[in-house]
Chain A
Amino acid sequence: MFQTVLNALNQGFLLTLALFLVTLAGALPLGLLVSFGSMSRFRPLRYVMRTIVWIFRGSPLLLQLFIIFYVPGELDHNIWAFSSGRFWAAATAFILNYACYFSEIYRGGIESIPRGQDEAGLVLGMTKQQIFFKVKFMQLVRRIVPPISNEIITLVKDTSLANSIALAEVIWAGKKFMKSDGLVWPLFFTILYYLAFTGLLTLFFGWLEKKLSYYSV
């Protein structure tokens, strides 16, 4: 029995992991675009972006997940009616939500880099793109690793919300044994997956922070 549970939980955890990775792959770059938008000198764009950020940060992720998953069906355009539709509905909600959180971290990071760095780049004939990628990007990365790692660890746990739209992630896999076999412990057992995963991430980010502190500002 233990082996059966373990296999089922492993299956579920793979989906958790996939959701986690897809969310990061989408939200980390999208967040950068959102942060540029929310710092734009073009006022309408800035206001629109800040409103979007407010909506996604100001309402429960669970609710966003429901809206994104169910509203298309209610409108008779169920875009999620394919085999991995639940997964992509969840991924969409997570990417949008986390992009907004990340964008604020990026914005704080970018705005904290002294103006003198831009000016030094400009008088050396660099383009704005070169200044961003060659001068400011590494300084930005260094400044945002601590707050971003915090969000990323939160994301690991937030993926469990996807079981509310019946995505068979690890908690869903654990809960199933309550109904089918009257077993409670598989659900509780899933905590070990989360702890192991967040533990590894904590170690990784600790290492990364150290690695990036070869210079000081």
Chain B
Amino acid sequence: MAMLEVSHMEKRFGNTEVLKDISFSLEKGQSLAIIGSSGSGKTTLLRSLNFLETPDAGTITVDGQLLLDAAVRTKASDKEIRKKRLRFGLVFQNFNLFPQYTALENVMLASQLLAKERPDYRQNRREILEQIRTRGVELLTQVGLQDRLDNYPHQLSGGQQQRVAIARALALDPDILCFDEPTSALDPELTGEVLKVIRSLAERNMTMIIVTHEMAFARDVADQIIFMDGGVIVEQGPARQVIEHPVQERTRRFLSRYQGQS
């Protein structure tokens, strides 16, 4: 069964249709790259999956569980939305780390707050917090920042900040990790270290959706690629095929602009 299934999703801002009849599915352990020019709707799609935007139509199903049916207009409680959100993780273009917390604190904060809702929190407080800390250190080690645990975001380079953000998103064990142009705010010499981390996640079979402008990266790391233009999915298929042998004329035109980029 597909890990994620999105069907007939629509979204408009005022009179502008940003997403038109978006349908796709993603298998567990696979990664999907979404490419397309700015304004094609790919970021809105990602934000809708993370409940930062509410689609006007369509459904989102994760692991067989219907998370959202836009046709059902009952207002979900905050608590339900929070629970559903946790199926997804999101890494932002601008990192959005919390500046007043150290790298490790950034990674631990959400887990610490969630732990307070556990019924056994009061009895096992010490152990639970110790586990969260161990996990935080483990994640930061995984992204190569074991020496930076106590640094504040402003003491880290952009690439390091983004790696903290990835560790922070992983801390809540999302089923699907989403990346919104994770390297677009970085200097070229810093993108490599972030891409390397994402690549290692793909090798560990993390289910991922990556909105990116790095075509070579999308081709090499993603299993599937979706090309979006003007709010619709123009082409989707296996990564190598879409990049090297695109079927649609619009895809070809878009990709030709990236040629010469290795």
Contact = CB atoms under 8 A, between A and B. Distances in A.
A89 to B, nearest CB: 40
Given A134-B113, A217-B154, A123 B98 contact: no
A117 B165 CA distance: 12
Interface stretch (B85-93, B204-212, B244-252): B85-93
Interface string A161-190: 000000000000000000000000000000
B153 A123 contact: no
A119 B37 CA distance: 23
Nearest to A137: B100
Interface residues of B, number: 28
A120 B92 contact: yes
B154 A116 contact: no
Interface stretch (A66-74, A76-84, A125-133, A149-157): A125-133
Contacts of A142: 100
Interface in B92-135: 92, 94, 96-100, 109-110, 113-114
A59 interface: no
A139 B101 CA distance: 10
Given A119-B52, A123-B89, A215-B153, A130 B100 contact: no
Nearest to B94: A116
* Residue with the highest number of chain B CB atoms closer than 10 Å, among A117, A122, A142: A122
Nearest to A120: B96
Nearest to A124: B110
Contacts of B50: 123
A217 B94 CA distance: 13
A16 to B, nearest CB: 35
Interface in A170-217: 214-217
Contacts of A121: 110
Interface in A52-96: none
A126 B50 CA distance: 13
A145 interface: no
Contacts of A123: 50, 52, 85, 88-90, 169
A3 B202 CA distance: 81
A17 interface: no
Interface in B139-189: 152-154, 168-169, 172
B154 A216 contact: yes
A142 B169 CA distance: 26
Contacts of A33: none
A116 B92 contact: yes
B99 A217 contact: yes
Given A116-B94, A216-B154, A217-B99, A126 B110 contact: yes
B100 A138 contact: yes
Nearest to B78: A127
A120 B96 CA distance: 6
B99 A215 contact: yes
A136 to B, nearest CB: 9
A135 B96 CA distance: 11
A125 B98 contact: no
Nearest to B174: A123
B82 to A, nearest CB: 5
Contacts of B78: 127-128
Nearest to B91: A123
B82 A125 contact: yes
Contacts of B89: 123
B67 to A, nearest CB: 14
Nearest to A215: B152
B92 A117 contact: no
Given A134-B113, A216-B99, A217-B99, 16 more contacts: A117-B98, A121-B110, A123-B52, A123-B169, A124-B110, A124-B168, A124-B169, A125-B172, A126-B110, A127-B78, A127-B82, A130-B113, A135-B109, A142-B100, A215-B99, A215-B100
Interface of A: 114, 116-117, 119-128, 130, 134-135, 138-139, 142, 214-217
20 contacts: A116-B92, A116-B96, A117-B96, A119-B52, A120-B96, A120-B97, A122-B85, A123-B50, A123-B88, A124-B109, A125-B86, A125-B114, A126-B113, A128-B78, A134-B113, A214-B152, A215-B100, A215-B153, A216-B99, A216-B154
